[in-house]
Chains A and B, each alone.
Chain A
Amino acid sequence: MSDAAHAHDDHGHHAHPTGIMRWLTTTNHKDIGSLYLWFSLIMLFTAGSMALLIRSELFEPGMQLMHPDFFNQLTTMHGLIMIFGVIMPAFTGFANWQVPLMIGAPDMAFPRMNNWSFWLLPVAGIMLLGSFWLPGGAVAGGWTMYPPLFIQGGVSYDLTILAVHIMGLSSIMGSINIITTILNMRAPGLTLMKMPMFVWTWLITAYLLIATMPVLAGAVTMLLTDRNFGTHFFNAAGGGDPVMFQHIFWFFGHPEVYILILPAFGIVSQIIPTFSRKPLFGYASMVYATASIAILSFTVWAHHMFAVGMPVAAQLFFMFSTMLIAVPTGVKVFNWVATMWKGSLTFETPMLFAIAFVCLFTIGGFSGLVLAMAPVDIQLQDTYYVVAHFHYVLVSGALFSIFAGIYYWLPKWTGHMYNETLGKTHFWLSVIGMNIVFFPMHFLGLAGMPRRIPDYALQFTEFNQIATVGAFIFGFSQLVFLVLVLKTIKGGAKASDQVWEGAQGLEWTVPSPAPYHTFETAPVVK
């Protein structure tokens, strides 16, 4: 941190290239963290624009704006990019910035691999987005990539399969880096049991990624060989089975949804204690609950397939296991509430997003439980009820936690406080907008409106119009966020090292903005 410390740094940072080469060649965890976060923000606006196009078409029944096939391309790409291009990279960005700062390590364990993990992502992003301009347009078979549609499509389907491979590679390398860093580079005295919750959740998420990405890779490789090399894994005419794809995909897919939410649990578990000025209630149970969610998440996959036709025994099994996995998740909600109980609460923007997370994620958890009941799900499968469910857990869950984390750590990263009025404006517009878009979708689903459909029956019109209005409120209020971030980087009130009165942990012991190199000599944790 001090100049004296830098003098020992023989591959000193003074020699680093500047301009674009700095970012292309960087091995610094803070640079790479920023790259991930910027990539994620750009993709958020890209996939968000697609969502607004989708909602515009759905403002009225009938076809107004686009060809139905283009509509399907939009829903598919919106899903793929939001999951692989926005939520996952954003969490990896947080991991890069925060894990070394929180465990007192000078950098990630494998800095060069770290660089490669990131730069693979824009490559995959270009392959995905570029396919809009190829013959036949982008993939239109849904983000779940089910055959037979995914076997029949044109060249963009091959490109998408390769892009998924590349993103998987990036995730696996990122996970190896994170696991090694956490297990080997903690400051003396920082035992596993003293690790901040965010570090714990990422450790477990990284294991989940390493376990599931190869499964996804296997599934899409089989698609690839079915498409190009004459195999018939998923082709019933050739003795294959399209339902097998669904089993393999969801064996990856359900743990994947926990990959999308565990780091969110981690971020919220940092923020709520800070603004309640109390330690996290039940830290131990939080760690245990996270670990058990990870293990049990491998036993529930067929709840996505109740409607394909399964023996009753299988339906019962997956129904019971799905309902049981909600128990450790529910325990976490109780822990956050108990942390706030009798605390000295203040409601800065990070806390507002964290509280909204707790309330709204719970709604998503409840609709998940409704869907977990096989007889109910057979009615609701592939309706807007499912769309409402996963947007409550992913928008007001994962995305809100990302906003909360940005507001929480941005002062540490930039050295400036963000503008609280702007932050609160962004918060209220987002919460209100989000609920206007997604709450009516429960009603639409219960009334039977199918998902992934560009046209609908007249009786669904009103709720669709409400949802579209909400979507535009939500979408455009993200511009407030963009302005806020840019303003905070440029200037603003000077942030103290501690930043938040109740904040605890190693990251708050370094100056704000965090210097390019931190913890060159490891701190000692008592």
Chain B
Amino acid sequence: MGELTKPTSSRVIQAGESGFATTKFNELLAWARKYSLFQYPFVTACCAMEFMATASPRYDVARFGAEAPRFTPRQSDVLWVVGTISQRQAPILKRVYEQMTEPKWVIAFGTCASCGGFYDNYATLAGIDKVVPVDVYIPGCPPRPEAVLDGLLLLQDKIASMDTTPGVVKPRHDPAQNLVNLRRKTEDSAG
């Protein structure tokens, strides 16, 4: 996950605790926003498979309050750009973004949406940030659902701390590496 520079001052009151809580109005609003992200999936290419995996029960994006897709940009908060955007499609993407109401955020899902990926040619847009501003970049071709959830949590943190600088999801530790390490260790002790 990306790092945050500004801590948030909201705190949840624990059960059994009594008293009152203070917060700033903006932060209360931000806290409410981050758990009710309505998404607009702008899905164009193979990354869609991982997007579906993230939305399906195993990874269950509903846990983070972002499960409701809205197929009109006017009702949505987050624009998920999933897949390759061609030059011919760029005006459509821009128009969809402009139709969204404030506040709005954009997630670039996958390498193609982030920087064009390996499509280094006349037909492909070299990253959607050439056309619309991006809040979170999720690298990977395609990214694993874990990375997507990391990206979503990063976006939530950014919303809560009202941070508008773009963030990039960092790679996680690969679980397969555990096996490799284990095997190396046994080979070392055997040899």
- Mutual binders A and B: no
